[in-house]
Amino acid sequence: MQFSELHLEESILRAVSEIGFKQPTPIQIQAIPAIQTGRDIIGCARTGTGKTAAFALPLIHKLIESWTAPREIRCRALILSPTRELAIQLYKNIQAFAVHTKLSFLLVHGGASYENQILALREGVDILVATPGRLLDLYDRKALRLDQVEVFVVDEADRMLDMGFAPDIRKIAPLLPSTRQALFFSATMPKEALQLATSILHKPMKVSSDPLSAAAENITKTLYYVEKNNKFALLEWILKHLDYTRVLVFCRTRRGADRLTEHMQKAGLPVNGLHGEKAQHKRVEILECFRLGETPILIATDLAARGIDIENISHIINFDLPGDAETYVHRIGRTARAGAFGNALSFCDPTEKNYLREILLHLGEEMEVIEDHPFHSEQIKNYSGSSKPKHTPDKKKHVSKIREQTTWRLSPGQSSKLHSESDGPKKNARRNPKKKQH
């Protein structure tokens, strides 16, 4: 199928051709005609499949067809995005798709000047791309009204939930006209995201393509069994022996990303770290250096990595395995974009064996185990038990029981004697707060 067969405006088709899109992707083939019918839509497609164009192209087409000048402090289409980086990327895509139209666009997010955004809103705007927090701030300041919105889009809905934006979305939805069309798009669709969608959409049509397990088609997946305290050394060894273009390394926590970045920088590797606690200007600078290849290795958390829409990422490295299979598939989808080939390397220590089993079951295939490196652990490879991180609730419960059993209780008249001689040193005694003599 060709884009011309999707009955889009000529100006849109010209922009699509200039961008270099040859043929629509499966999610675009399904979503574009569905959106053109005016129905509310729930769309699910993995990263790198053209999900943004799937809702942006028919949205632009609709606004052109029914064009009226936007009114003061109002917008005709509202697109919500969970992070600044994603909002910026989305805004750039909208600009490119609508470059040959008369539509106006505006981007609002935290970390930028309120005054400039308020001034830009005064004349009204056709398409407003926003993060939820800043949007509500502008509404509370009476700098924005939402009673003229024709199309409402929630992008990356699963990350919205992860970042705690569900209450904000529920606040925004009632401020919109009841007749607006609503589009709900996400790379994954967990139960919570689906519940949120059905609460704000009216009889939605569901469109999806490329099931999550299919994300592995053009990706070579390899597995490294390694002791937890050897992971730093293994990553350093791999990066010094790897033939790469750009490498994206995933960590579970911000603190872990910072520690790993510092370690790799001390090893002389061209590395930067990215997570949500970094200042906005710093995050933009780090992403640009990664995009240009000036620092071709980026260590990031899952939330921060949602803003990374960069071609030619040759390798994904799961330094920490994610706790669910959908996140794994989303991570490795950052490589092998647009039909290219990529590589996904995963480290597995004893505490992550359960995560690995879930991922392999979801994919329906095994990963190639790499043993030709100095840190391979045959013991972890053959380990079939259930090893849990030391801070799991079960462990805490176990510790609590031990303490309960070894706490000494005093009888009346023993306030000066905590233990008998056979009970051990006094320094290990614990006072009983419940029995105290007066």
What are 254-294's pLDDT values in tens digits? 999 999 999 999 999 999 998 878 877 788 889 889 989 99
Res. 414: pLDDT tops 50: no
What is the model's pLDDT at position 242? 94
Query: String of b and e for 412-430 (b: at least 16 CB within 10 Å)?
Result: eeeeeebeeeeeeeeeeee
Runs of H (alpha helix) within 142-184: 157-162, 166-172
Q: How confident is the model at residue 405 (pLDDT cuts 50, 70, 90)?
A: very low
Q: Give the residue with greater pLDDT, 67 vs 236.
A: 236
Query: For the chain, how many structural domains are there in total?
Result: 2
- Assigned domain for 32 exists: yes
Q: Which residues form the domain of 285? A: 213-382
Is residue 249 domain-shared with residue 270, that is, in the same domain?
yes
Q: How confident is the model at residue 108 (pLDDT cuts 50, 70, 90)?
A: very high
Instruction: Confirm whether 411 is domain-assigned.
Output: no
In the prediction, which pLDDT does 46 show?
A: 74
- 100 within a domain of the structure (yes/no): yes
Which one is predicted more confidently, 71 or 238? 238
Do residues 322 and 237 share a domain? yes
Q: Do 70 and 83 belong to one domain? A: yes
Same structural domain, 225 and 160: no
Amino acid 83: pLDDT: 85
The pLDDT of residue 386: 53
Which of 127-131, 184-188, 233-237 is predicted least confidently?
184-188
End of a domain among 210, 233, 257?
210
Instruction: Judge if 205 and 222 occupy the same domain.
Output: no
pLDDT at 307: 56
Q: Is 31 found in the same domain as 177?
A: yes
Asked if 126 and 234 sit in the same domain, the reply is no
- The secondary structure of 94-143 as a DSSP string is HHHHTTTS---EEEE-TTS-HHHHHHHHTT-EEEEEE-HHHHHHHHHTTS
Same domain? For 242 and 347 the reply is yes
Instruction: Identify whether residues 48 and 178 lie together within a single domain.
Output: yes
Check residues 394 and 314 and name the one with the higher pLDDT: 314
* 432 located within any domain: no
Q: Are 92 and 205 contained in the same domain?
A: yes
CATH number of the CATH domain containing 252: 3.40.50.300
pLDDT at residue 395 tops 50: no
Domain assignment present for 399: no
Would residue 329 count as lying in a domain?
yes
Read off the pLDDT of residues 342-352 as tens digits, 9 standing for 90 and up.
999 999 999 99
Domain boundary residue, one of 382, 407, 422: 382
Whether 303 is in a domain gets the answer yes
Mark whether 185 and 237 lie in a shared domain: no
- pLDDT, one tens digit per residue, over 45-55 is 877 778 899 99
Q: Out of 363, 382, 401, pick the residue that ends a domain.
A: 382
Q: Give the rounded distance of the alpha carbon of 301 from its chain centre.
A: 8
187 token code pair: 């790379």
Same-domain check for residues 330 and 319 = yes
pLDDT at 275: 86
The residue-averaged pLDDT of 320-326 equals 88
